[in-house]
Amino acid sequence: MNPQKIVTIIQGRMASSRLPGKVLIDIAGQPMLAHVVERARQAKTVDQVVVATTIQAEDDAIQAFCQQRGYAVSRGSLHDVLDRFYQAAVAFQADVVVRVTADCPLLDPQVVDHTVEEFLRSGVDFAANRLPPPFHRTYPIGLDTEVCTFQALERAWREAREPHEREHVMPYLYDTPDRFKILRVEYEKDYGALRWTVDTPADLELVRQIFARFSPRTDFTWLEVLALFEREPELAQINAEVKHNTYLDVDDGFSSEDFK
């Protein structure tokens, strides 16, 4: 039995420039956040799942929903998501932090487990199944799982100063070679071009189509979705024109001066 407490922290907020309110938007009869939390809870390597939202008034709805469902919830900074994660990790006494986002309703617990297991096996500070260029991702966008030690997260919290490092939580751990020991978890084939996250109306339409194909089941795996795409390749065209945000994109008004 692993002596470390492993906590999955799901970041989510109601504000979204491309799809406002997406965190609680309906997918197959449930708010998107419910799908993410329930899937994250199925990971066998994880001890606790926490939703980390903001202190903004509009995110009272997320806190109320979490309390209604019995989900652990923490609230913090709107823009400084690194601080939001750090405070949640402290509050829930995490030794290892797993980062996922609330716009990934196809999150697969087996992928989470595999990433955590590789992290524990390798003894690194940080492991992920996605990293920005020049690295190449092999898992579809929407299965993103990042894992780090609390010590690494705490160092990033103390030292990170750039807006993208604060907003996207983990870049300080991997954007400078040799700063930390990192591991990129890869799949045996390359499916990195597939987009299964929800950030636009087109993304939402695709995910709703996927859930409709498996109805009434909601526990289908990413490999089952992959098989669906192989049977119906036209599904990938629904959101093919969506431009994926990069880890260097930050919200307007977010300044590095806030952290100096």
Position 58 scores a pLDDT of: 96
Position 245 scores a pLDDT of: 64
* Domain membership flag for residue 258: no
* Domain membership flag for residue 259: no
DSSP SS3 for 138: coil
* Domain membership flag for residue 260: no
Return the half-sphere exposure (C-beta side, CA atoms, 13 A cut-off) of residue 23: 23
Position 2 scores a pLDDT of: 63
Indicate which CATH number applies to the domain containing 236: 3.90.550.10
With beta carbons less than 8 A apart as the criterion, state whether 137 and 208 touch: no
DSSP 97: E
With beta carbons less than 8 A apart as the criterion, state whether 148 and 97 touch: yes
Neighbours of 17 (CB within 10 A): 10
From first to last of its 260 residues, the chain has per-residue pLDDT tens of: 467 999 999 999 999 888 999 999 999 999 999 999 999 999 999 999 999 999 999 999 999 999 999 999 999 999 999 999 999 999 999 999 999 999 999 999 999 999 999 999 999 999 999 887 767 899 999 999 999 999 999 999 999 999 999 999 999 999 988 999 999 999 999 999 999 999 999 999 999 999 999 999 999 999 999 999 999 999 999 999 998 765 445 555 555 445 44
Report how far apart, in Å, the C-alpha atoms of 205 and of each of 23, 107, 124, 215 are.
15, 17, 38, 15
* Domain membership flag for residue 1: no
Exposed e or buried b for every residue in 141-151, given b needs 16+ CB within 10 A? bbbbbbbbbbe
* Domain membership flag for residue 240: yes
Position 257 scores a pLDDT of: 45
* Domain membership flag for residue 34: yes
* Domain membership flag for residue 86: yes
Position 16 scores a pLDDT of: 83
Position 205 scores a pLDDT of: 97
Number of domains in the chain: 1
Domain with 132, as residue range(s), is: 6-252
CA-to-CA distance for 229 and 225, rounded, in angstroms?
A: 6
Exposed, middle or buried by CB within 10 Å (0-12, 13-18, 19+), for 61?
Answer: middle
